[in-house]
Amino acid sequence: MALNIVWSKRASQRFDHIVSYLIIEWGEKSANDFIIKVFDFLDTLSEFPEIGSLENKEKNIRGFTLQKQVNLYYRIKDDCIILIIFFDNRLNPKYKKL
């Protein structure tokens, strides 16, 4: 059974920020490729929610590297997956705040 995907406000904002950056710096094709990659991964994630590595055991937060520059952090809760943040790995890790 596939789990529902729920986007947190922070995940949605960071995703939009990354897409905007890609459009400005690399063009629409790169941004569209990234969007397709994310949504393909979310389809897989809904079927296999434990695919990501356990990053914070106490908070049950998992992470997955979408591209070498971007990680996705999420939490499995009941019958849904909550997307916490898309993190640009080039940023200072103190901004991750899991």
Got the DSSP string for 67-79?
Answer: ETTEEEEEEEETT
Q: What is the pLDDT of residue 24?
A: 96
Instruction: Summarize pLDDT for 27-36 with one digit per residue, the tens.
Output: 999 999 999 9
Q: What is the pLDDT of residue 92?
A: 60
Q: What is the pLDDT of residue 90?
A: 80
Q: What is the pLDDT of residue 60?
A: 94
Q: How many domains does the chain have?
A: 1
At 93 the three-state DSSP class reads helix
Residue with tokens 């979310």: 42
Q: What is the pLDDT of residue 70?
A: 95
Q: Collect all residues with Cβ–Cβ distance below 8 Å to 29 and sequence separation of at least 6.
A: none
Looking at residue 59, which CATH number applies to its domain?
A: 3.30.2310.20
Q: What is the 3-state secondary structure (H, E, C) of 3-60?
A: CEEEECHHHHHHHHHHHHHHHHHHCHHHHHHHHHHHHHHHHHHHHCCCCCEEEECCCC
Q: What is the pLDDT of residue 49?
A: 95
pLDDT < 50 regions, the chain:
none
In which domain, by residue range, is 27 found? 4-91
pTM, 2 dp: 0.90
CA 17 to CA 64: how far, in whole Å? 19
* 98 within domain boundaries: no
* 97 within domain boundaries: no
Single-letter code of the amino acid located at 26: W
* 84 within domain boundaries: yes
Q: What is the pLDDT of residue 89?
A: 85
